[in-house]
């Protein structure tokens, strides 16, 4: 199983956590998504595309921090 970790901006509440979780969960290869209020996102699955995950996070309004 592959794991990708991100630190993202703009996570302010449980709704943000749910938006990220739901937005990433449907992407190809994703089997699990964990999100904290501190903006830490962990994605597990097979054949994950880090660039696609990063783009989806930005599209959702949570760009990856520097």
pLDDT tens for 14-31 read 999 999 999 999 899 999
Mean pLDDT value across residues 35-45: 97
d(CA 24, CA 53): 7
Q: Is 44 left (phi over 0), alpha (psi -120 to 50) or beta?
A: beta
- Give, in words, the CATH class of 2-60: alpha beta
Q: Give the per-residue pLDDT at 45.
A: 98
- List the chain domain ranges: 2-60
Other Cβ atoms closer than 10 A to 50:
13
pLDDT of residue 49: 96
Answer whether residue 57 shows pLDDT above 80: yes
The pLDDT mean for the chain works out to 96
pTM, entire model: 0.94
CB of 17 closer than 8 Å to CB of 36: yes
Query: What's the residue count for the chain?
Result: 66
């Amino acid at each position: 199983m592959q794991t990708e970790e991100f630190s993202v901006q703009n996570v302010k509440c449980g709704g943000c956590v749910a938006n990220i979780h739901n937005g990433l969960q449907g992407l190809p290869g994703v089997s699990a998504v964990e999100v904290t209020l501190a903006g830490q996102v962990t994605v597990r699955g097979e054949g994950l595309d880090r660039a696609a995950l990063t783009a989806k996070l930005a599209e959702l309004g949570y760009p990856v921090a520097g």
